[in-house]
Amino acid sequence: MSKRKQQGFTLIEIAIVLVIIGLLLGGILQGQSLINSARVRNLISQVDGVKAAFYGFQDRYRALPGDFTQATTQIAGASKDGDGNGQIDATESIAVWDHLSHAGFITGTYIYTAPPPSATSNPTNPWNAYLQLIYDNIYADTGTASTRHNLKTGNQIPVEVITEVDRKVDDGNALRGSIRFSLYNGGAAAPTAANCYTAATGVWIAAGGEANCGAAFLF
């Protein structure tokens, strides 16, 4: 009685399968890297656009957006005047977008509504958290943060994206420079500082996988 030949995979077949798996994994990782790079560029572009609008508004009206006392008379469609004290407070941080959009400095049309922000009053970041332009000290510092005008990115941003933005634009440290970690919640659950950066050093936890971080760009 003849023996049945045992069936199995040859070394060549196994090698081919491993090569295919390696190519697939490489493609997935490369694709994720490209997505993150696009997100980084998108966020930087959005922040640069708002900063340009902020300074352009000042140049035209000799006042801060949101704080402009004659917005409703000098800007067609604007619905809220500021108090003109040179500081964008919590209420005026909503009026900022009303003034900038009706003056033609940013795309879209935003109408002032009383805080908190809403889809009709505030633009959002690519992760649908609200931006905030304000005079406050809600951002990280090596000591006590000073009160300054700053643009909050909103939260819900993956830590690896914030890390790369900080590296490209500033010093890569969450506690120093012009880009800092911020607890501003942007209309969603506030970020947890310990998940986003190391308190002792200010180093972003880039490999931590945290999906809810945010930053402030100081002016």
Alpha helices in 103-176 (DSSP H): 159-169
d(CA 17, CA 103): 60
Question: CB of 149 within 8 A of CB of 133?
Answer: yes
Q: Which residues contact 173 (CB under 8 A, 6 or more apart)?
A: 166, 201, 202, 203, 204
To which residue do tokens 């995979």 refer?
9
Confidence of residue 33 (pLDDT cuts 50, 70, 90): low
What is the CB neighbour count within 10 angstroms for residue 218?
Answer: 16
Question: CB of 159 within 8 A of CB of 210?
Answer: yes
Question: CB of 127 within 8 A of CB of 156?
Answer: yes
The CATH number of 39-218 is 3.30.1690
Q: Going edge to edge, which strands form the sheet with 179-181?
A: 132-136, 148-152, 215-218, 179-181
pLDDT tens digits, one per residue of 112-121? 999 899 999 9
Q: Which SS3 state, helix, strand or coil, does residue 166 take?
A: helix
pLDDT tens digits, one per residue of 98-110? 999 999 999 999 9
Task: Delimit the domains of the chain by residue range.
Answer: 39-218
Residue scoring higher pLDDT (34 or 201)? 201
d(CA 28, CA 23): 9
Percent above pLDDT 90 for the chain: 76
Percent above pLDDT 70 for the chain: 89
Angle at 193 between CA 136 and CA 46, to 5 degrees: 60
pLDDT at 202: 97
Cis? peptide before 116, omega within 30° of 0: yes
pLDDT at 5: 56
Question: CB of 205 within 8 A of CB of 195?
Answer: yes
Q: Which SS3 state, helix, strand or coil, does residue 215 take?
A: strand
